[in-house]
Structure formats: C-alpha cells, structure tokens
Structure 1
Amino acid sequence: MKVLVIAPHADDETLGVGGTIRKHAEAGDQVVVAVMTGPGKEPPKRTS
C-alpha cells in the first residue's frame, strides 16, 4: 500500500497521525510525508 501524509507544518504529521504512520511503515507500506510550510517570512521588498 502507498500512504501519502500531507501536513501544514513540520511535526504536525507526528502529533496528528504518528501512530498510523508507524503502523504502515512496520507493515512494509510505502509512506511519504509532504510538509507544506514555506521557509518563513518573506524578505523585505526593496523599493526605490
């Protein structure tokens, strides 16, 4: 089985579905976690 976990922030997948991820991983399933948070604040825009 293939399992895709989509999380808005790092560690949300662990706190929300960590047990389910472990269960699938131990069963030999392919588990992919996608964390959707960007790198943080955008740099200040330069104006002239």
Structure 2
Amino acid sequence: PLAVPGRVLVGEGVLTKMCRKRPKPRQFFLFNDILVYGNIVINKKK
C-alpha cells in the first residue's frame, strides 16, 4: 500500500526518460522510504 503511517513526501517532479523513438516525461514522487514514478495522464477518456 502507498499510504503507510510514517511515510513522508520529500519531493516530486517531472524527469525525462530517454526512449528509442523520443523522450518521454515521467512524474516522480520521492518519499522518505520509497521512490514512485509513472506516466502523466491528462483527461484520458475510456
């Protein structure tokens, strides 16, 4: 689980992953005990 007692968000931001076809932005979240990252999704419809 992501929500754990004592876990504190230290920082967050966007870094660029260098892929073969083109660079891709990734959102990173740095906590005191874990680093989480993922794709940036804006208004994606199902």
- Could you tell me the TM-score, scaled by structure 2's length? 0.25
**Higher strand residue share:** 2
- Could you tell me the TM-score, scaled by structure 1's length? 0.25
- Give the number of the structure with larger relative contact order, counting CA–CA contacts within 8 Å between residues 6 or more apart: 1
